[in-house]
Each structure stands twice: as C-alpha cells, then as structure tokens.
Amino acid sequence: MTFSSHPMRLKHLCAAALATLALAAPVAAQDAVAGTWQTQVDDGAYAFVEIAPCGDKLCGTIARTFNADGEYKSANLGRPIVWDMVAQGDGTYKDGKIWQPSTDKVYNSKMALSGDQLKVSGCVGPICKGQTWVRR
C-alpha cells in the first residue's frame, strides 16, 4: 500500500506532523535558554540559577550560592528568582518577574540571550537595571 493510493492517510499524516511541529516550537525556543546560569555578584554573593520551562513559560530557581569564602547554604536555595518569562522566539523573553534577594524586591523583567550570555533586566516603569549572567 502506498500513500498515493490513500490520499486521506497522507493528509492525516501531514496534519499530525504539522501539529507536532507547532506544539514543539515553543519548547524548542525555550530550550536555548534552559540550563544553569551564574549571576553577577550582588551584595557580596552570587548564585547558580537553573532555568527551565514551567508550563508554557520559563522560570529560574536558585540552585547553588557562593560568597567570598566559596559555596555556602543560603536560605534562598530552591527559591524562584525568575518566573512567568515568555519566549519571543528570537532569543528574547519578556513579561516575567525577577526577585532580587539582596533587597527582597520583585521587578518586572525581561531577558535577552546571546550565545552563552543572558542579559537579565529588572524594571520599574521605563527604567531597567540588569546583570549579564554566564552559562555554566
């Protein structure tokens, strides 16, 4: 049996393949940023953040923490630091939130991926401050 002798099967196969690709596209875009990222030093400490999909968005959790003496067990281990990030499909992410442990404040956030660097910004209105995180 060939597909040409059963055009409906070919049509269903093509539809299933397209549906699979459409569903996989957002996950593929998120995979580029998924992984472990080292933050910059803030208030004498830095962290390794694990970024992964959480539903149809991206989230980041504090996985390890370091200070001048080396790795230490911060009370912030396991806490979300980035959440609700929406992939734009071009290496940028927006509409998320970021928590700054040193001030215990939450900011509107956006991110931009460039190779092994991730520019992460926290914003209040039009004013944004940020860090560049490095892939680990």
Cβ–Cβ < 8 Å for 58, 33: yes
Residue 83's contacts (CB-CB under 8 Å, 6 or more residues apart) are: 54, 57, 59, 60, 96, 97
Cβ–Cβ < 8 Å for 134, 37: yes
Instruction: Please calculate the CA angle 82-87-91 and round it to the nearest 5 degrees.
Output: 100
| Tens digits of pLDDT across the chain (136 residues) | 454 555 544 344 334 433 433 444 444 444 699 999 999 999 999 999 999 999 999 999 999 999 999 999 999 999 999 999 999 999 999 999 999 999 999 999 999 999 999 999 999 888 999 999 999 9
Question: So what's the pLDDT on residue 125?
Answer: 87
Domains in the chain, ordered, with CATH? 32-135 (2.40.128.520)
- Cα 90 from chain centroid? 13
Please name the residue that has the structure tokens 């539903």.
55
Question: So what's the pLDDT on residue 31?
Answer: 64
Question: So what's the pLDDT on residue 77?
Answer: 98
**One-letter identity of residue 88:** Q
3-state secondary structure 22-64: HHHHHHHHHHCCCEEEECCCECCEEEEEEEEEECCEEEEEEEE
Please name the residue that has the structure tokens 């003496």.
69
Question: So what's the pLDDT on residue 106?
Answer: 96
pTM of the model: 0.77
| pLDDT above 70 as % of the chain | 77
